[in-house]
Amino acid sequence: MQTARSDAGVGAVRGPGRDRGLAIGPHVLGSRLIAGTGKYRDNATMVEAIEASGAEMVTVAVRRVDLDRSVEEGVLHHLDPARYHLLPNTAGCYSAEDAVRYARLGRAAGLSDLVKLEVIGDERTLLPDVAATLDAARVLVSEGFHVLAYTNEDVVSALRLEDAGCAAVMPLASPIGSGLGLVNPYYIREIKRRLSVPVIVDAGVGTASDACVTMEQGVDGVLMNTALAEARDPVRMARAMRLAVEAGREAWLAGRMPRREWAVPSSPTEGMID
Amino acid sequence: MQTARSDAGVGAVRGPGRDRGLAIGPHVLGSRLIAGTGKYRDNATMVEAIEASGAEMVTVAVRRVDLDRSVEEGVLHHLDPARYHLLPNTAGCYSAEDAVRYARLGRAAGLSDLVKLEVIGDERTLLPDVAATLDAARVLVSEGFHVLAYTNEDVVSALRLEDAGCAAVMPLASPIGSGLGLVNPYYIREIKRRLSVPVIVDAGVGTASDACVTMEQGVDGVLMNTALAEARDPVRMARAMRLAVEAGREAWLAGRMPRREWAVPSSPTEGMID
Amino acid sequence: MQTARSDAGVGAVRGPGRDRGLAIGPHVLGSRLIAGTGKYRDNATMVEAIEASGAEMVTVAVRRVDLDRSVEEGVLHHLDPARYHLLPNTAGCYSAEDAVRYARLGRAAGLSDLVKLEVIGDERTLLPDVAATLDAARVLVSEGFHVLAYTNEDVVSALRLEDAGCAAVMPLASPIGSGLGLVNPYYIREIKRRLSVPVIVDAGVGTASDACVTMEQGVDGVLMNTALAEARDPVRMARAMRLAVEAGREAWLAGRMPRREWAVPSSPTEGMID
Amino acid sequence: MQTARSDAGVGAVRGPGRDRGLAIGPHVLGSRLIAGTGKYRDNATMVEAIEASGAEMVTVAVRRVDLDRSVEEGVLHHLDPARYHLLPNTAGCYSAEDAVRYARLGRAAGLSDLVKLEVIGDERTLLPDVAATLDAARVLVSEGFHVLAYTNEDVVSALRLEDAGCAAVMPLASPIGSGLGLVNPYYIREIKRRLSVPVIVDAGVGTASDACVTMEQGVDGVLMNTALAEARDPVRMARAMRLAVEAGREAWLAGRMPRREWAVPSSPTEGMID
Amino acid sequence: MTETTAIRVTLNGSARTLAAGKSVAGLLRELEVHPGLVVVERNGEILRRESYPEVRVEDGDTLELVHFVGGG
Amino acid sequence: MTETTAIRVTLNGSARTLAAGKSVAGLLRELEVHPGLVVVERNGEILRRESYPEVRVEDGDTLELVHFVGGG
Amino acid sequence: MTETTAIRVTLNGSARTLAAGKSVAGLLRELEVHPGLVVVERNGEILRRESYPEVRVEDGDTLELVHFVGGG
Amino acid sequence: MTETTAIRVTLNGSARTLAAGKSVAGLLRELEVHPGLVVVERNGEILRRESYPEVRVEDGDTLELVHFVGGG
């Protein structure tokens, strides 16, 4: 896991040669999969799954310490911050003010300037309030944060977030926790075409092929949580996701064959015997 | 690459534990990807791509020796038969008789009883003539061949081919060389549910996510050629395919999360600050 | 409802001018929707729904008279044969012999040579046994039947059934009673391109848009039953289906706009004010 | 075409009984199809197509009079305003100010308070600038306009536009002029569930089945232009669209059958002969 | 021989005892089945409707009475 | 100063020279534009149709003449 | 005034009574919370960890003790 | 009769004239075809490799020399 600056992940270097990794703020990640740490049946499974996923960056939430705690739920008791880049999120915030406050608490707790900015606009769909996200992003960027902004599939909003100085823009594939996969590949493809900061698809991936087809759109990475935590075997699914993200990335760099509505033989039509 | 008999690949052993590999006739393959050797821009690229794909079994065609040859097109000059299981095909045959004749020539050339049985029923779509395939399969099985039968997505035909003693049944995802991917997952899933011999999806896969989603239906393997040979970078696509086939297999064994049309938060809704 | 011979429905007359209707055997139908009469909650609903569907041809099954009947289930007590062409089916038959026997009983009961030939090959999917269907078709054609043959999406089988003298070939959109809609448009389109007898998609249509998109492939008609009988409001759904079949037919004849991945304004970009 | 106030189109009255029409501002439209008047090869075709579409409301753009005009391009020379409700748009505007200015000019020209508010945020995709649209909507609502607001598929933005007092909210199916159809049915369905003002899907419909499936999501209407103007036969496609919109509406009101992955016979399994 | 002699037939799959000498038309009348709406298959042979009055039901006959029901 | 004095206006984006003292109605007549089908915006203000005969076109005016065209 | 005087604070949303004069570090010790893993927000201000020993908890303070938990 | 007598065969679809008395092994040598990589079908019969030295090519034979090429 290098930490030297590099523009490797910015845009995509297609063609031969090794893929150079995903640059987010000061970091260059060897893995294009970012994993969430929520909703696992237990911490041991969470730790093992994240290890299997190959993720080098993991999201965490900021919550009150449970003062009359039976169980220790602090995630740092389980995850080694020396091994994983922690990405504090502002999940659960419905206003720019709250999001900024949580971002600052996360920075104080993690001693890192990275933040996954999330300002929710609707409780049922958990879709973002893009205007409030933009307001919060401007404040946080001015305070030196590296902002990874959760947003919807709208190209216009994505461009605004880039203009606001976000370090990465994170459109969703489908609603958080839905597992519906990549519903609108056109928009995700267009967002990637138009932005120069990394585009990381956040939320909606349900299984390996969802992650694979998402990466085949040319995006720089995928962030997932529920698909791992709610799989029957989270560790095995995490391994599948690691492979699928690499597969999709490689396939995009390799350049797929054309689609045809008719058949073409794979064996020579010459040289048949009489 | 073991060669001891095993029922590993017959049906699918879901749940924890290593996936035991794909049993075809006398062989147990560590890789669930079978690669074709046709249509590469040159033999060096073919060899490198097949190596990158991780395939342990490769298909070859039987054709006349070019007696006034400039170039040596015999595939055994390039592929080491000690390293790869050769799977001779009957591509280009439009009758049971021709297919049987090519299968016997393939056996004589390869000193192996494996054959990929293909009897084409229509030149434009290269869809199989299922009745003729069934006739040829019966003859070849009686002669001791391990028959891997190319067929369409029809469950009834697949059951008949199993009854005829085929070692594996190979429905297509979409027409040969089309790259349209898995058009009818319902049928492929049902074929897998109903058969006990290995089900290997043959033809139609165009990119990594196609291979991944195909394996997620629970099938035992995927056979591909054009998707590798016609990629802009065949070697890189071969690597992508190796990863995608493993990813799809692991995801299926892991058991995916449920799909939902509404969102579910990944971070706790408790413990928010005031 | 004319009954003069006409090749109107054979193939498709694209371009301006009225669509001339669907020719099946001796009949020319103004409506391209053929309705089944099974599974309605009661006969009154069935009659009203079929009327609303605009169908001129309806399928019926041949079954034993219930000799200790409480209710009169004979369908001719409810449907006027002078108003609808009856299309007896061989539903429930698993062999060519049974199908031929039912076809003959249907001819004796209906005094018509039309038969919807169905030979089932698998009880779970109700997919056809194509080989047995072909055998039965040859016998029935030789006995002067106008055979409408239920088959799968396989182009090769469809061509064989046409060669056997079938009056129409009826591939399915998806399994009988599944409501999954048109799963494989490529195959249906190709079957239509390749055959000269009418192609009527039988089974799988679940709602109006399924019928519409099916007709947009250029096929000559759609046969449906469950989509009407199991709708919450069968009569209203029947009206919807009538409209949808016409809409899909007209759209196909009209020739759709091209698809584009980018936007094109609908209003002039000239003449803006300063 | 009534003009009495009615809440008929607000939300959807499912179940038996006639569908009461679409209420927009002061009008109740018998037809749920709104047609654009741009891009036709000639005015005669435009007029005939709109007539065939059954539309009672048509969109028009506001542009400079061509003072050294050879041809008369004023649309009112061709369309009778007594017959069609004119819906002036603000197409081509990239700021709230411009949109408000065009809306006022449209009101002065059409002597009607209806406006199709469009504020574009990106020239390549023609996706809306939602924030600017919201600003313009507030101004126009305060000036007594009945605002029909073009927006993206975002539920949050749709709710904000409703709160701002819009008379209807018009999310797109896919980008203007793309003909990609309904890419994200989940979002459109959710927008309809959550809003109480009419939801009219604007842009992206390419052929009849697109319009049909869009209406099956329960929305109140569809607005289209390119799908008609660019069809090979615009008048025939307009007829197809009229039928498809009705079909989709009726199907939604009728309530479709359930989808199943297995088959269910349409004919009785009892009463077979021996 | 008298009309009261009984014969045994298989009718739509179930064994029945009938008075001997009955015609198919008579049988249908007795069963209250409208002859115009049914088809009678006797020992695998479809009977023409015109023949119902003449054809006698014989001991050991297998009869199938079928008609059209709702189906897809 | 006389009525023959010329004024300069910007009309639909292009500079024009007009005879002074002309009313908007007069201008439309001269341009052969049917007043009922157009809207006139003068220096950013939309003019009511009834006012066309009174309102005089002044030197330096910016006039926009717009109408409805086909659009989606 | 004596050290035994009690003060009232709001701690993670619930009212608590504490002995007066306690430092934030002391409070954490009492709560058995590892100072290195939490962040303390006092009346809306985030406290630097180095300041925990000096800063005294005052009557009426609103304190939030937060840390990282699993989240996506 | 002498070894110089010529015979005519069909080899991979084309007519060829060969010196009589040649073995299949000899023919392959002449054609520079590695025997281990090809299969010889003679008049519809596949020949065992071991038989190449003994089997003589006869006048009128139809020979097919095939091998593996790239295919899917």
Q: C159 contacts in B (CB within 8 Å)?
A: 122
Q: Does G41 touch chain B (CB under 8 A)?
A: yes
Contact C60 E71 (CB under 8 A): yes
Contact A267 H71 (CB under 8 A): yes
Q: Which of B90-99, C265-274, D116-125, E20-29 has the lowest mean pLDDT?
A: C265-274
Q: Does D153 touch chain A (CB under 8 A)?
A: yes
Q: B103-114, pLDDT tens digit by residue?
A: 999 999 987 899
Contact A267 H64 (CB under 8 A): no
pLDDT tier for residue D2 given thresholds of 50, 70 and 90: very low
Question: Per the residue annotation, which of B27, B85, B116, B242 is the catalytic one?
Answer: B116
| Closest to C102 measured CA to CA, from C127, C74, C76, C139 | C139
Tally of residues, chain F: 72
Does the pLDDT of residue C21 top 50, yes or no?
Answer: yes
Extract the tokens encoding D118: 């469009």
Q: Does F25 touch chain D (CB under 8 A)?
A: no
* Torsion of the alpha carbons at D235, D236, D242 and D246, rounded to the nearest 10: 180
Q: F69 contacts in C (CB within 8 Å)?
A: 267-268, 271
Q: E31 contacts in C (CB within 8 Å)?
A: 65, 67
Question: For D128, which DSSP code?
Answer: B
In the stretch 164-193 of chain B, residues with CB closer than 8 A to chain D read 186, 189
The residue among F39, F46, F69 with the most chain C CBs within 10 A of its CB, best to mutate, is F69
User: Could you tell me which chain A residue has the CA closest to the CA of B35?
Assistant: A266
List residues of chain A with CB under 8 Å from any CB of chain G.
36-40, 43, 46, 59-65, 67, 73-77, 86, 88-89, 91, 104-106, 108-110, 176, 203, 223-226
CA of C82 vs chain E CAs: smallest distance (Å): 14
Extract the tokens encoding D139: 């101004």
Q: Does E46 touch chain D (CB under 8 A)?
A: no
Contact F64 C273 (CB under 8 A): yes
Sorted by sequence, the CB contacts under 8 Å of residue E38 that are 6+ apart come out as C65, C109, E28, E65, E66, E67
Q: How far apart are the first and last CA of chain G?
A: 49
Tally of residues, chain E: 72
Whole-angstrom distance, CA of residue F40 vs CA of residue F30: 15
Does the pLDDT of residue A4 top 70, yes or no?
Answer: no
Does the pLDDT of residue B222 top 70, yes or no?
Answer: yes
Q: What pLDDT is stored for residue H4 in this prediction?
A: 66
Whole-angstrom distance, CA of residue A76 vs CA of residue C94: 65
Q: Phi and psi (nearest 5°) for C43? A: -65, -35
Catalytic residue ranges of A? 116
Query: 3-state class of B60 per DSSP?
Result: strand
Q: Which of A2-16, B49-63, B134-148 has the lowest mean pLDDT?
A: A2-16
CA angle F4/F6/F12 to nearest 5° reads 135
* ipTM of the modeled complex: 0.89
Rounded average pLDDT over C40-44: 93
Q: Which ranges of chain B does DSSP label H, i.e. alpha helix? A: 43-53, 96-110, 130-142, 155-163, 185-194, 208-215, 226-229, 234-254
Query: 3-state class of G64 per DSSP?
Result: strand
Q: A265 contacts in H (CB within 8 Å)?
A: 72
Q: What pLDDT is stored for residue C71 in this prediction?
A: 61
Q: G9-35, pLDDT tens digit by residue?
A: 999 999 999 999 899 999 999 998 888
Sorted by sequence, the CB contacts under 8 Å of residue D129 that are 6+ apart come out as A156, D94, D119, D120, D121, D122
Q: D247 contacts in C (CB within 8 Å)?
A: 208-209, 211-212, 240-244, 247
Whole-angstrom distance, CA of residue A170 vs CA of residue A57: 15
Do H and E touch, 3+ Cβ pairs within 8 Å? The answer is no
Q: G33 contacts in A (CB within 8 Å)?
A: 65, 67
Extract the tokens encoding H15: 């007519």
Decide if E66 contacts E42 (C-beta within 8 A): no
Does the pLDDT of residue D70 top 70, yes or no?
Answer: no
Extract the tokens encoding B229: 């040979």
Does the pLDDT of residue B207 top 50, yes or no?
Answer: yes
Q: Phi and psi (nearest 5°) for B174? A: -165, 170
Rounded average pLDDT over D119-137: 96
- Average pLDDT over chain D reads 91
Whole-angstrom distance, CA of residue D200 vs CA of residue D190: 13
Whole-angstrom distance, CA of residue G9 vs CA of residue G18: 7
With a pLDDT cut of 70, the percent of chain G lying above it is 94
- Average pLDDT over chain H reads 91
Q: Phi and psi (nearest 5°) for B169? A: -115, 135
Q: C261 contacts in A (CB within 8 Å)?
A: 186, 189
User: Could you tell me which chain H residue has the CA closest to the CA of B107?
Assistant: H39
Extract the tokens encoding B98: 């021709």
* Torsion of the alpha carbons at C83, C87, C88 and C91, rounded to the nearest 10: -130
Decide if D272 contacts C66 (C-beta within 8 A): no
Q: Does A194 touch chain C (CB under 8 A)?
A: no
Question: For C89, which DSSP code?
Answer: B
User: Could you tell me which chain F residue has the CA closest to the CA of D116?
Assistant: F72
Contact C259 D125 (CB under 8 A): no
Whole-angstrom distance, CA of residue G9 vs CA of residue G14: 8
Whole-angstrom distance, CA of residue A15 vs CA of residue B8: 38
Query: 3-state class of B94 per DSSP?
Result: coil
Rounded average pLDDT over C71-84: 83
Decide if B218 contacts B196 (C-beta within 8 A): no
Q: What pLDDT is stored for residue A16 in this prediction?
A: 54
Do A and F touch, 3+ Cβ pairs within 8 Å? The answer is no
Q: D46 contacts in F (CB within 8 Å)?
A: 70
- Beta strands C221-224 and C33-36: pairing type? parallel
Does the pLDDT of residue B89 top 50, yes or no?
Answer: yes
Question: Which secondary-structure segment (H or E) carries D160?
Answer: helix D155-163
Q: Rounded to the nearest 10 degrees, what angle do helices D208-215 and C208-215 cross at? A: 170
pLDDT tier for residue A72 given thresholds of 50, 70 and 90: low
Whole-angstrom distance, CA of residue C62 vs CA of residue D272: 8
Q: Does A7 touch chain C (CB under 8 A)?
A: no
Q: What pLDDT is stored for residue D1 in this prediction?
A: 36
pLDDT tier for residue B67 given thresholds of 50, 70 and 90: confident
Positive or negative, the CA dihedral C248, C254, C255, C257 is negative
- Average pLDDT over chain A reads 91
Query: 3-state class of D6 per DSSP?
Result: coil
Residue recorded with tokens 């406290």: G47
Q: Which of A71-80, C76-85, D21-30 has the lowest mean pLDDT?
A: A71-80
Extract the tokens encoding B94: 């439009």
Count of other CB atoms within 10 angstroms of residue D270: 10
Contact D268 E69 (CB under 8 A): yes
| Closest to B216 measured CA to CA, from A179, A188, A19 | A179
Q: H2-23, pLDDT tens digit by residue?
A: 556 899 999 999 999 999 989 9
Q: What pLDDT is stored for residue F5 in this prediction?
A: 87
Residue recorded with tokens 């990640």: A29
Tally of residues, chain C: 274
Whole-angstrom distance, CA of residue C104 vs CA of residue C110: 10
Does the pLDDT of residue B269 top 90, yes or no?
Answer: no
| Closest to C39 measured CA to CA, from C54, C24, C49, C53 | C49
| Closest to C191 measured CA to CA, from C224, C158, C217 | C158
Q: Does F44 touch chain C (CB under 8 A)?
A: no
Question: What is the Cβ-side half-sphere exposure of residue C109, based on CA atoms within 13 angstroms?
Answer: 32
Q: What pLDDT is stored for residue B25 in this prediction?
A: 86
Does the pLDDT of residue C16 top 90, yes or no?
Answer: no
Does the pLDDT of residue C127 top 80, yes or no?
Answer: yes
Contact B126 A263 (CB under 8 A): yes
In the stretch 65-94 of chain D, residues with CB closer than 8 A to chain C read 66, 89, 91-92
Contact B273 G41 (CB under 8 A): yes
Q: What pLDDT is stored for residue B14 in this prediction?
A: 47
Q: A170-222, pLDDT tens digit by residue?
A: 999 999 999 999 999 999 999 999 999 999 999 999 999 999 999 999 999 99
Question: Which secondary-structure segment (H or E) carries G33?
Answer: none
Q: What pLDDT is stored for residue C125 in this prediction?
A: 93
The residue among H38, H45, H68, H69 with the most chain B CBs within 10 A of its CB, best to mutate, is H68
Q: B156-194, pLDDT tens digit by residue?
A: 999 999 999 999 999 999 999 999 999 999 999 999 999
Q: What pLDDT is stored for residue C25 in this prediction?
A: 86
| Closest to C171 measured CA to CA, from C150, C148, C192, C147 | C150
Positive or negative, the CA dihedral C226, C230, C232, C238 is positive
Question: For C185, which DSSP code?
Answer: H
The DSSP bridge partners found for residue C114 are: C146
CA of B169 vs chain A CAs: smallest distance (Å): 19
- Average pLDDT over chain C reads 91
Q: What pLDDT is stored for residue D271 in this prediction?
A: 86
CA of F19 vs chain D CAs: smallest distance (Å): 18
Active site residue B192: no
Question: What is the Cβ-side half-sphere exposure of residue B65, based on CA atoms within 13 angstroms?
Answer: 24
What is the pTM (predicted TM-score) of this model?
Answer: 0.90
Contact D89 F72 (CB under 8 A): yes
| Closest to C152 measured CA to CA, from C124, C194, C107, C120 | C120
The DSSP bridge partners found for residue B29 are: B22
| Closest to A58 measured CA to CA, from A208, A199, A221 | A221
CA of G46 vs chain B CAs: smallest distance (Å): 13
Question: Per the residue annotation, which of D116, D138, D160, D249 is the catalytic one?
Answer: D116
The DSSP bridge partners found for residue C149 are: C117, C169
CA of C5 vs chain B CAs: smallest distance (Å): 32
User: Could you tell me which chain A residue has the CA closest to the CA of G47?
Assistant: A108
pLDDT tier for residue C99 given thresholds of 50, 70 and 90: very high
- Tell me how far the alpha carbon of residue B265 is from its chain's centroid: 40
Rounded average pLDDT over C160-173: 97
Decide if B182 contacts B217 (C-beta within 8 A): yes
pLDDT tier for residue E4 given thresholds of 50, 70 and 90: low
Q: Does C155 touch chain B (CB under 8 A)?
A: yes
| Closest to B191 measured CA to CA, from B178, B203, B201 | B201
Extract the tokens encoding F7: 């004024």
Residue recorded with tokens 């439209």: D29
Q: What pLDDT is stored for residue A10 in this prediction?
A: 34
Q: What pLDDT is stored for residue D262 in this prediction?
A: 86
CA of H22 vs chain A CAs: smallest distance (Å): 23
Q: Phi and psi (nearest 5°) for G62? A: -110, 115
Q: What pLDDT is stored for residue A130 in this prediction?
A: 97
Do H and F touch, 3+ Cβ pairs within 8 Å? The answer is no
Q: What pLDDT is stored for residue H5 in this prediction?
A: 87
| Closest to D269 measured CA to CA, from C108, E28, C177 | C177
Q: Looking at chain E, which subunits does it touch, using at least 3 CB pairs closer than 8 Å as the criterion?
A: C, D
The residue among B129, B162, B187, B188 with the most chain C CBs within 10 A of its CB, best to mutate, is B187
